Amino acid sequence: MKNRQTELLLQIGVVKWLKLQFPEIRFCASAGGMRTSLSVAKKMKASGYVKGFPDLFLYHPTNRHNGMAIELKADKTCYPSKVQKQWVSDLNDRGYYAVVCKGFDHTIEEITRYLNEDFD
């Protein structure tokens, strides 16, 4: 439960940073990690929510990628699930830049790297 709360606070911080630094970028967060009732969970699944989808998606193509998907983890001691790893791999295979980021600083570094196309 502690990691869930920490990841929620991390995501809130990253979203605030994105809105301040890059207000023109379109992004959306998934509902992953949020506790819901069984009836709400069933509605989410029926309406298209898919297990393992990354926490944050930047709908901002660059010259090299179609967009950026970020699976957030609270810190270096947290790891993605098998399904989350598969999403990251599949998105990378399809021309997106998909990463697992551990902590605020790492997330900001990866977003900045993506937007600057700094892949050398």
Rg (C-alpha) for the chain, rounded Å, is 14
> What's phi and psi for 98, nearest 5 deg?
-115, 130
> What's phi and psi for 97, nearest 5 deg?
-105, 105
Is the pLDDT confidence value at 42 over 90? no
pLDDT, one tens digit per residue, over 43-90 is 877 887 788 999 999 999 999 999 999 999 999 999 999 999 999 999
> What is the pLDDT, as a whole number, of residue 50?
86
The residue segments making up the domain with residue 21 are 2-116
Q: How many domains, in total, are found in the chain?
A: 1
CATH of the domain at 73: 3.40.1350.10
As to burial, measured by CB atoms within 10 angstroms (0-12 exposed, 13-18 middle, 19+ buried), residue 17 is middle
Which two three-digit tokens encode residue 70?
């970020």
pTM attached to this predicted model:
0.89
